[in-house]
Structures are given as C-alpha cells and as structure tokens.
Structure 1
Amino acid sequence: MKKKEFKSISVSRVIDSDGRKTLIINNPTDFRLIGKGVQGAVFQLDDDRCIKFYVKKSFVEKEMKAYEAAKKYSFIPEFYERGSNYIIMEYIKGPSLYKYLQKVNHLSKSISQQILMIHRELKKVGFTRIESKLGHFIVTDGEVLKFVDHSDAFSYFQPYPNELFTDLKKIGLLQTFLDHAKELDPEQYSEWGKAVDLEQI
C-alpha cells in the first residue's frame, strides 16, 4: 500500500442555494471509488482493505466510537488504521443487500433473522441510531451479512429502522420482513410498533 498515494485523495462538501449537499471528490490516484455519501467517500486499496475519507474530522471520531463499541461482532468490518480524516478497514466483497434483493426478488428468513440480530446486538452496546439502509448491508458468501457505515450510531435516538422500512417498501419486500420479524423476534417487533403503526407503513 502506497501511503503517500492514498493521502493525496481528498473529499469536501458544498451546499447549494437550495440547501442540497454535494460531495466533491479529488482522487489523483488509481484507487477505485466504491461508495460515497454526504459524509465522505470510500476507495478500494487492495483485495482486503478499503479507505474511507471524511469531509470533517468529527465524522472520523464518530465512526471510531461506533467501531470501538461494536468491534467484537463478526458482522462489523475489521478496523486497521485511522488518520485525521480517514479510516482504513476491511474491504467486504459482495453486492449490497439492496442490489441482491432486487436481483433475487425474495427475502429469506435467514437474511431477516440476521438483520434482526444486528439491530438487537448493536442496541445492546449502546447504538441509539442504527442506520440500516439496505445499501449498508453487504451480502457475502452463504448469504452472510456484513454491516457498514456507522458514523451516526450515537447522533440521536431512532426508535425504529425507518430507512430499512423505506428501502424494503420500494422493492416490495417490507411486508415479508415484518412478517418474519413478528415471528422471529416478537419483542423487537413490538418495540417498533410502539413508535410506528406497522400495519399502515
């Protein structure tokens, strides 16, 4: 890994007159861009590692706090190194859960059970917001899920996974997931039901 080379990458953010946030990426290297959002961008360094650059140093601190809290879990990518504006972590091979479900058009109980388990375990270690968009899950061999992007884990309290519900609804699989949740984890299903009408979403 050529450290000088990856350190020449930079990301910044501009806000237009309508309040829309746009990420500006400067990448003079050959490292491939594999993901981006409002907080930063991720590049693949090699077969096993990737690097996430953040627009603010405070975002690095937030994500490091989440990694430290959840490091014991196998569904969290392994952490390798941090800098003032970046984190190097395990590169997870596989499609996002969003792309995977669009392709197979079916939500298995195994995947639902993993999502439920991830929510339950992260709540145990203190996550107050679990931003479980389908794009934040990576499907690896054997339909095993990995969960990425945790910089907002302690930002505020989120009583139910609204991003997850929205994504599943878009591809017509929300009711399947809710049926699985009601059967597999009635306690968590009931907790979500106190925050939102699960029969009407």
Structure 2
Amino acid sequence: DGSHVHYTDLTPDGRLAVVDLGNDTVSTYDVSAEGKLAPVSILKTKAGLGPRHLAFAPDKKTAYLVGELSSKVSILDYDSTTGAFYLRQTVSTIPADWTEHNGAAAIRVSNDGRFVYVSNRGHNSLAVFEVLDGELKLIQHLTTHGDFPRDFALDPTEKFILVANQNTDNATLYTRDQETGLLACCQKDIPLPEGVCVYFK
C-alpha cells in the first residue's frame, strides 16, 4: 500500500540501488565521498511485481530482479553511464497451474553468469533458470523438502546449494551440475531453527 524499501546494495560502479517492494520501483543514487545520496534514476516496474532482491550478473551490465508478490523474476539492463535500469524480460518462478499463495524470496546467479536460481515460499521450491541468448529459460523446479525457503546460497566451489526452510526448522543440501546448472537433493532435514540466511565464508 506504500513505500517499503526491502533491499539496497551498491551497483558494480558504486551507485546505490534501492529496491522498493511497496511502490514497485528500483531507484539509483549517486553516492558522494561524504556518503550523501543524489537521485539518478527510477525504474517503475509493473504494478504488483513487489520487487524484493536484485542480483547482478558477472558482466556488471545485467541484473536480475525478483518480485516477491508476483512470483516473477525480471532481467534488467544496467547503463553505467546514466545509472538507469531498463526492463528486458519478466518470467514466472512458479508453474502456471499453481493457485495457492507463493512469495518469491532469494535469488542467486552463478559465477559464470549462465544460471539463475530463485526460491519460492509457498510452492516451497527452487526454480532454476538458464540464461540463453540474453533471456531466462526455466529448466527445473524441485522441492526444498521444507516450508518457507527464506534463503539459500551456492557454496564457494558452486558444486552445492544449501537452502534454509524457515518454518520447518531444517536445511536442505543439493549437488549442482556446473555444466547444466541442474540440482539434485543429497541431504535433507538438516536441523536449523528458523533459518533466515545462508552465508558461506
């Protein structure tokens, strides 16, 4: 119903990107040496997208924006000259026949930029996308073996993905094929009370 900044991070060139779930915007600010902000650009997404997180690809020119309320992910082109984002494509993170509640949550991009992963809270799944000819193609949906997968991360080798299921107090571990991007569950029901963040040092 109103502004609700859910996520902020620096762009690869040092601007501040602000993702607002409440008013469906991604705003960009220049950051002065004193840390003061000056507005540069605003991308207005489709109403109801509910932007939650933003992740840049390794090329530093492409970003992926996950929409919590819409269960969708968008490809954005980033212009480092102007600090502006431009919409390229939007696709669903859940099957077309899913009618129950879902909220898309975390998003991760592989280091080679070839694969994008999104967690779904409600459908309780991971959606796996391959980047082909500049667009996202869904290649896999698989259960997280728990409820409300709040966060997940690739390990430093990118051979594994660990998912935290907040409501069922467990984590699930997957092996990852680095050529195809596909996942396979190798361990589930790892005790994790109310897991909300996965971070590898």
Q: Give the TM-score, by structure 1 length.
A: 0.30
Higher helix share: 1
* Higher RCO (C-alpha under 8 Å, 6+ residues apart): 1
Structure whose alpha-carbon radius of gyration is higher: 1
| TM-score, with structure 2 as normaliser | 0.30
